Every structure is written in C-alpha cells, then in structure tokens.
Amino acid sequence: MTEDAATVAASSHDELLDAAMYSAAGRRDPYVFLHELVGRNAFYVRDDGRSFVFGYRECVAALRSKSFLKHGEHASSTSSTFTPEQENTLGCERPDAAGMLSSIDDPDHVRLRRLVSLVFTPKEIGQYVELITATLDEQLALLERHEPVDLVTTLHSQIPSQVVGHLIGLPLPDRDLFARLAALQSLGRDPDATFEVQLIAVRARREMYEYVADLIENERSDPGDTPVGRLIRLEQHGEQISHSELISLVATVYSAGYGTTVRMLGNGAVALLSNPNQASFLRSNPEHTRRVTDELLRYDTPVMTVGYFADGTATIGDTRLEPGSLCTIIIGAANHDPRAFEAPDMLDVTLQRSESPLSFGFGIHYCLGQALARLEGDIVFSEMTRRFPKMVLAEEPERQDTFRARAFTRIPVVLEPL
C-alpha cells in the first residue's frame, strides 16, 4: 500500500467526505475518496443529522422513495454560510421557480411532468439526429485541423445550444446569449459558491426567465409546432398549468438540456482521449455506441449529487433519518459501487454492464431530457472517434473547480496531428 493509499484508508468518514468535496485532490479525482467510502458503508449519517448515500442500491431506493422530498428547493445547492441579509438579497433577486420539475414534489410534479413528457416522446427525439449531425458538421468546418482547438467552446457547448435552442424555438441570434445565461445560472447549483457567485447566478436565471416570458407572449397568438407552442396550446385548452409554471418549465427544459450535456461531452471526450484503446473499440464497433455513452456517463458522472429533505418516515437501510434533515445522494459514488459494477474504477466500454448508471437520476425526478442527451453523446462520440482517429490532447485539460458539477472548462486538442 502506498503512503497516499494508507492515508486515505486511515481517514474517517468525515475526512473522506471533506477530501472528496473540498480538497484540491478531490476536485481533480474524487473517486479515490468515494471508492473508500462506498467500500466501507452504503451510507453515512453525520453528527449534525445530515446523511450521505453512496451505495448503488441504496441510492436507487432513496430516489424511488416518496419519503425524500424537495420542498421547492434544490437541496443539494443549499448553503448555510450566508448572512440573513445576503439570503434576503438572493431571495429578492430569484425569479418565481414554480413548476421547476427538479425541485417540486407530487402532486404538482406528476401533473407538470405529464405535460412536458408529451413533447419528449421517442418520435420527437428521433427527429433530432439530422440536426445534431448537421450542427457537428457546421462546427467542425470552422476548426483548424493541425493546430490546437478547444473542444469545449468550439463544439461541446455549441451542439446542445443549437439543439435545445431549436427544441424550444429560440431565434438563432439569441442562442449564444441563452447558453451563456444557462452556464451562469448553473453556478448557483454549487453549494460552495460564494455569495457574489450566487448573486450572478440568480440574476442570470432571472434574465433567462424574463426572456422566456417574452418568448411565450410572442407565441400566444399563433403557437408554433415547438414544445413551447404545444405547452401554450395545452394551457389554452384548459390544462392545469399556470403562467409562472409555463415559464419555469420552458427554462428548465433548456437548462437541463444544455448544462448536463456539455459536461457529458467533455468528460467523455477526455476519457476516450486518455484511453485510446477504448476509443478504438468504439471506432471498430459502432453498433455498441449506446453502451459506450452509458459507460462514459458512469465513469465520470456529470452531476455528482442530488439532495432531498427527509420526511418523518424516511429511512436508509434500517436507519430512520431526522425529519427535515438534508440527505445528499452521491450519484458519482453509486456509479462506482463494486457491488453493482465490475471493476468500477476502470473505464471499460467493452463490458455489457448489468446495471444502468444513475447519471440522469432515478424515480420521479428522472431526467426527462436524458434520451436527447444520450443521442447527442452517441453521435458526437462515435463521429469524433471515426473522423479523427489520431486526435490527441494538446495540453492538460482544465477542470471546473467544483465537486457537484464534474466538467471541463477547456479541452485543447489537435484533431489531425502532423
């Protein structure tokens, strides 16, 4: 056992959690610490009542349970470090988030989810193959082949921006603006974000909501054949959906379809570039593309945690949780649980895994846009490995400095080295 491994093994649960979430080493590679945690226990309850779930089956059970609630909040983004004055400032800046699917409970959740699911049918998703491929072609045509280019800004952020922008009917000139707002507002999902960063995030969210409100108003007289238009028609035909819920649903569709996809594409690209034998398998076996996308999602999870509040009946295993306490489900740990995945810390796209990764959640808050995100991953991963078999990293990729969102901010590559 190396000295570093011995130090990890000797650490307490609290030390391992803090190292994974807050240390520089954890920000680079949290799985070293999560591997030790998930090997010890499926969950852990801190002295202050907060609980953390690591095990795959325990995470599935918690995500499926009706005893874990959102209460209208993104619980995994909750911070207790702000003063009452700061909290009041943030509260005044926040837009009305009624209808935000990722932060509401039943019965409102099931009512609104049913409406959104009507525009996320397999038939609808299948129509985006041509658009994704065309967007990839257009962006690649702009890139240097023999000099370093950054995949994040030139490709990974552009594809979901165009695809989801088209999905909700955003005018072409406004898609870059909307993508910028989505990226800024997602910074507020990090519980470690400073007050200044949180303020930037909530103001970006407000601007996004105001834009969506104008978009909806412009569509009302003649709703088009877009998800926005169809949701407006449902509202006009008497479906139970308020104006603020409609705004929030459209903003949520964009935010969820943009941010997670950008992170997925970046994490997957670096994993394949760092493991050329895995890229070679994909190149030679395109029929297994979906398996590869799922393995990349498992190996480096785009969103590491989701949070819930325990009601009076919530349990993990045989342990009853304190009512109202925060429960953090660490998806990244569950995706590396050796009880669910063989050789979990290795990237192996040749394996047919017996379990599916929890990267898009599970249960009632399972991501509605996961089929579209997976489709984008399928096309981008397979096409990039096929078209650029010699593509290499030009420099060390740069990571976003957070635990919850596993993402690269810069991935310099040479597409065709001389």
Q: What is the pLDDT of residues 156-169, one digit of tens each?
A: 999 999 998 888 88
Q: How far apart are CA 139 and CA 387, in angstroms?
A: 14
User: Would residue 338 count as lying in a domain?
Assistant: no
Q: Reply yes or no on whether the pLDDT at 242 is more than 50.
A: yes
Q: Do 13 and 140 share a domain, yes or no?
A: no
Peptide bond between residue 173 and the one before it cis (omega within 30 degrees of 0): no
Going by the DSSP 8-state scheme, the letter that residue 321 receives in this structure is P
Confidence of residue 341 (pLDDT cuts 50, 70, 90): very high
Q: How far apart are CA 280 and CA 411, in angstroms?
A: 20
Q: How far apart are CA 162 and CA 10, in angstroms?
A: 48
Q: Do 90 and 229 share a domain, yes or no?
A: yes
Q: Reply yes or no on whether the pLDDT at 7 is more than 80.
A: no
Q: Do 20 and 154 share a domain, yes or no?
A: no
Q: Do 77 and 172 share a domain, yes or no?
A: yes
Q: Of 112-126, 266-280, 341-355, where does mean pLDDT reach its minimum?
A: 112-126
Q: Of 331, 359, 335, 360, which is closest to residue 346 (Cα–Cα)?
A: 335
Going by the DSSP 8-state scheme, the letter that residue 391 receives in this structure is -
Q: Which domain holds residue 250?
A: 58-298+355-414
Q: Do 84 and 1 share a domain, yes or no?
A: no
Chain segment 29-76, per-residue pLDDT in tens:
999 999 999 999 999 999 999 999 999 999 999 999 999 998 877 655
What would the two tokens of residue 129 be? 């193959």
Segment 284-309 shows an average pLDDT of 96
Q: How far apart are CA 257 and CA 251, in angstroms?
A: 10
Q: Do 11 and 89 share a domain, yes or no?
A: no
Q: Tokens 């470090």 identify what position?
A: 81
Q: Of 92-106, 137-151, 291-305, where does mean pLDDT reach its minimum?
A: 92-106
Is the Cα dihedral 257, 254, 243, 88 positive or negative?
Answer: positive
User: Would residue 52 count as lying in a domain?
Assistant: no
Percent of the chain with pLDDT over 70: 96
User: Would residue 318 count as lying in a domain?
Assistant: no
Q: Reply yes or no on whether the pLDDT at 382 is more than 90.
A: yes
Q: Do 25 and 170 share a domain, yes or no?
A: no
395 against 100, higher pLDDT: 395
**CATH number for 174:** 1.10.630.10
CA distances from 269 to 2, 153, 260, 291, 339 (A): 30, 13, 14, 15, 27
Q: Tokens 């304190």 identify what position?
A: 322
Q: Of 69-78, 175-184, 330-339, where does mean pLDDT reach its minimum?
A: 69-78
Q: Of 253, 243, 206, 280, which is closest to residue 370 (Cα–Cα)?
A: 253
Confidence of residue 1 (pLDDT cuts 50, 70, 90): very low
Q: Do 34 and 71 share a domain, yes or no?
A: no
Overall number of domains in the chain: 2
Q: Do 104 and 228 share a domain, yes or no?
A: yes
